[in-house]
Structure 1
């Protein structure tokens, strides 16, 4: 069983992969993450061209880090958990780009302005499909003041997506306090860190009691299950709301209600996920010359012309322009 460990009294870490030779970047980054956070498995498509930085300070009961990186995957496996036996809670506040978080049978997409908790004592996965920046707060698990059942209900659920909930008031306050830490005189920093830890505990408790929150334990919600079906069938052109409703034994009206509560529609969400998959594949730098029409068809777009139109509407450039820009950026990074 992981043991709650106090954070070491002082740590200041500043690392950019730009200062390491391309062949050493992944090793130095994994060592930095292990020192700043916990042991993690790190996966990237092109380690030599990949760029990342992390700045972390340990103050009192809290560690505050700013993390910025090209696309990457982090995994906390049972092997990593056994290797360091640490029991920390993470709160990730998304600043730029999107991050997909998976833990306890759930998944959530963090957009800028949202926060989510995850527990280092159990496996989790973070998938960043685009360049991103996050504020990562880490503290001993007991400071969250929740029992194990509550923590399992809390993880991988977005805090801040319920209009009018307590997070709408508290998240801006949290962001402001975190931003103040570097400019605060040393004697007051620990008090400020404890205030931030208390605010995180308040956010967690408030989120569990927010109307509409579904404490689904370790199981996925119905919306999670529908989205998982979409991910599995994203390349099928015939994928439709009716097909999804029938697959999950719900009415078409109720399916639309689930997505309406998230501020979107079924069709818009499916289209966005297809566009993101195409965008990621077209930007992949592995020496493969990807034909745009083939990529579009692979992810469910039956018409290349329609794909080009919706891609330009979403990203302000054609698929070909995006592919060329991504290839140029990759060559530029390799040259440096």
Structure 2
């Protein structure tokens, strides 16, 4: 039985007579993902259960099915123009995903990408459960050659790199999306898509974490003067979770707060040493670089450089205007 309303859909073959199940299940999968053909062994009992919800560019589905085969052949690709990327996260049981001449054998905890623009096959030897995330191609920011190198390769959290950090985070975020308020859901969904893009780029041979680090730190340098700059602001700007932001900085041997404070002090120290800025008071320089309290700025400056801002200005040869 297929039920639901946009943007959600659910299907269960449990209450259908056996002769109606296969057609109903194939319609449900084709409506939820992309056009596919389903085959089952008629002498073996099977039940299909599916629940899906769309949140902006992201669709989250949970599928229980097997034994059987899901095939997107050349005819389906030609008839159905949808070209999304599907990400299969195996939850229970096993699955074989075949695409682009490769076979990914998925066990619980494994993840694999497959591309709806080209034929693929999923072989299920037993009843299993999986979570299927579906996103447009554009947010992954991959070239076609990178996508072809990515499909039907097993991604797990034991291989190191971004996947080691991000796959557990991905599971938690997807669970949180399903429980969050409507106002919060789309923001979380964007974070899930960003994580998928990061994992995909690394698997395809890119350097996603270093690129993300450079993008974040370059952006923060332009915002050092904002006294209200917070880790949550930074995370929201780059569509990542606050927890992931903190982990990125930890992997660099620092914290968000310490990194921002150091960059602010460096910028203030540089300005204090410039003769052209001699007309600005130390309090004005401190405020310009995000310090709301002149006394806190002076204390932090002394702790970092062993002298007060005024002493540094004199030592640098700038005329003090205070």
Instruction: Give me the TM-score of the superposition, normalised by structure 2.
Output: 0.61
Cα offset, 1:176, TM superposition: 0.6
Cα offset, 1:67, TM superposition: 0.3
Q: What CA distance in whole angstroms lies between the structure 2 residues aligned with 1:47 and 1:198?
A: 43
Q: Which of 34, 38, 45 is the aligned partner of 1:49?
A: 45
Q: Which residue number in structure 2 is paired with residue 108 of structure 1? A: 104
Q: How many correspondences in the alignment?
A: 203
Cα offset, 1:83, TM superposition: 1.2
User: Residues 22 and 47 of structure 1 are in contact (CA less than 8 Å); yes or no, is this contact kept in structure 2?
Assistant: no
Q: What CA distance in whole angstroms lies between the structure 2 residues aligned with 1:99 and 1:161?
A: 18
| Higher RCO, 1 vs 2 (CA within 8 Å, ≥6 residues apart) | 1
Q: Which residue number in structure 2 is paired with residue 89 of structure 1? A: 85
Q: What CA distance in whole angstroms lies between the structure 2 residues aligned with 1:49 and 1:169?
A: 39
Q: Cα RMSD between the aligned structures?
A: 1.8
CA offsets 1:253-308 (integer angstroms, 9 cap, x no match): xxxxxxxxxxxxxxxxxxxxxxxxxxxxxxxxxxxxxxxxxxxxxxxxxxxxxxxx
Secondary structure of the corresponding residue to residue 34 of structure 1: helix
Q: What CA distance in whole angstroms lies between the structure 2 residues aligned with 1:208 and 1:39?
A: 26
Q: Say whether 1:122 aligns with 2:118.
A: yes
Q: Which residue number in structure 1 is paired with residue 149 of structure 2? A: 153
User: Residues 50 and 70 of structure 1 are in contact (CA less than 8 Å); yes or no, is this contact kept in structure 2?
Assistant: yes
Q: What CA distance in whole angstroms lies between the structure 2 residues aligned with 1:114 and 1:210?
A: 20
Write out aligned runs for 1:1-336 (5 A).
Answer: 10-46=6-42, 49-160=45-156, 162-209=158-205
Cα offset, 1:81, TM superposition: 0.8
Cα offset, 1:48, TM superposition: 7.8
Q: What CA distance in whole angstroms lies between the structure 1 residues aligned with 2:206 and 2:75?
A: 35
Max radius of gyration: which structure?
A: 2
Q: What CA distance in whole angstroms lies between the structure 2 residues aligned with 1:181 and 1:11?
A: 14
Q: What CA distance in whole angstroms lies between the structure 1 residues aligned with 2:108 and 2:93?
A: 7
Secondary structure of the corresponding residue to residue 126 of structure 1: strand
Instruction: Give me the TM-score of the superposition, normalised by structure 1.
Output: 0.58
- CA separation of 1:185 and 1:57: change in aligned 2, threshold 3 A: same
Q: Which residue number in structure 1 is paired with residue 290 of structure 2? A: none
Cα offset, 1:209, TM superposition: 3.2
Q: Which residue number in structure 2 is paired with residue 315 of structure 1? A: none
Secondary structure of the corresponding residue to residue 157 of structure 1: coil
User: Residues 157 and 167 of structure 2 are in contact (CA less than 8 Å); yes or no, is this contact kept in structure 1?
Assistant: no
CA offsets 1:50-70 (integer angstroms, 9 cap, x no match): 211000001110000000112
Q: What CA distance in whole angstroms lies between the structure 2 residues aligned with 1:81 and 1:103?
A: 13
- CA separation of 1:45 and 1:195: change in aligned 2, threshold 3 A: same
Q: Which residue number in structure 2 is paired with residue 300 of structure 1? A: none
